[in-house]
Amino acid sequence: MKEDIIRRAIGDIDDDLIEGAKEASAAPRKKRKTVVLKRVAVAALAVVLATFGLLMLNANVRAAVLGVFIGTDSEGNTVVRFGENEESGTTDPVDVNDVMIGYVPEGLTAEEITGEDMLNDYRIIGMKSNDGKYTYAEVRIMSERVFDTKFSPGSFDYFSPTTVNGMDAFYTDDMDFIGEEYIASSGMDPDFFRGGLIIFGDGEIIISVSGYNISMDEIIRIAENVTW
């Protein structure tokens, strides 16, 4: 039977491949330890951030903090604030509609998908693939006068600090965008739905750029070409 032929052929593959797979079956136990340690570290970080968040309720403490704040709110959402300023509201606040998208990756088309129920201080621009393949990027533009930047809990393993055009930013290149149930029902490779996110702002405007099946370099390039 042809199935037996292929089975025997797999059985006779090179010895070093067989040995390598056997060694790998022992090695990933370290990865499990690393995953556990990572989760413990994230939990510890959440505790530190929550403590810091409580401190930040104090106006004097907040005023003393420069740059960005990231933490969790009472609902467990990840909250990011940039350029906290006690005296919020400048004389000429930036209108989210004045924000321009200067770069759209090749093969994607940008369109405004802001819902009608959105306030005037919030816009969403989606970038969908022209060939129907599953690539997606999104730019969210928010006025910090109205919104804190909130993201669903559990999606991020970590944020790393960086800058975008001189503004403080946070990014992650390993985020789950869609839950396991949808992945299973879509029949798609789960890795398709892992992607990147970068958030930055200047105290008046917060920008988040995110996407899956798209490189982090492209996400950063989109971010760097957002202007206001």
Partner 1 sequence: MSERPFNRNRRGNVDDRVIVQMFLDRDEDAIAEAKRRYGDYITYIACNVLHDRQDAEECLNDVLYAAWGSIPPQEPKNLRTYLGKLTRETAIDRWRKNTRKKRIRSDVVMSLDEIGEIVAGGDLDAQLEEAELSREISRYLRSIDETKRDVFIQRYWYYDPIKNICARYGFGKSKVLMMLKRTREDLAEYLKERGFIE
User: What is 165-191 written as a DSSP string?
Assistant: TTEEEEEEEEEE-S-HHHHHHHT--GG
Q: How far is the CB of 46 from partner 1 (least distance, A)?
A: 21
Considering beta carbons, is residue 25 or 91 the nearer one to partner 1?
25
Max Cα separation, the chain? 81
Q: How far is the CB of 91 from partner 1 (least distance, A)?
A: 53
Q: How far is the CB of 130 from partner 1 (least distance, A)?
A: 24
SS (H, E, C) 66-128: CCEEEEECCCCCEEEEECCCCCCCCCCCCCHHHCEECCCCCCEEEEECCCCCCCCCEEEEEEE
Token digits for 187? 């029949």
Considering beta carbons, is residue 33 or 118 the nearer one to partner 1?
33
DSSP 8-state secondary structure symbol assigned to residue 158: -
Considering beta carbons, is residue 16 or 131 the nearer one to partner 1?
16
Considering beta carbons, is residue 149 or 213 the nearer one to partner 1?
213
DSSP 8-state secondary structure symbol assigned to residue 155: S
Nearest to 207 by CA among 114, 125, 105, 132: 125
Token digits for 151? 């993201």
Considering beta carbons, is residue 38 or 112 the nearer one to partner 1?
38
Q: How far is the CB of 44 from partner 1 (least distance, A)?
A: 20
Q: Which residues bind partner 1 (CB under 8 A)?
A: 2-3, 5-15, 17-22, 24-25, 28-29, 31-32, 35, 180, 183-184, 189-190
Q: How far is the CB of 96 from partner 1 (least distance, A)?
A: 38
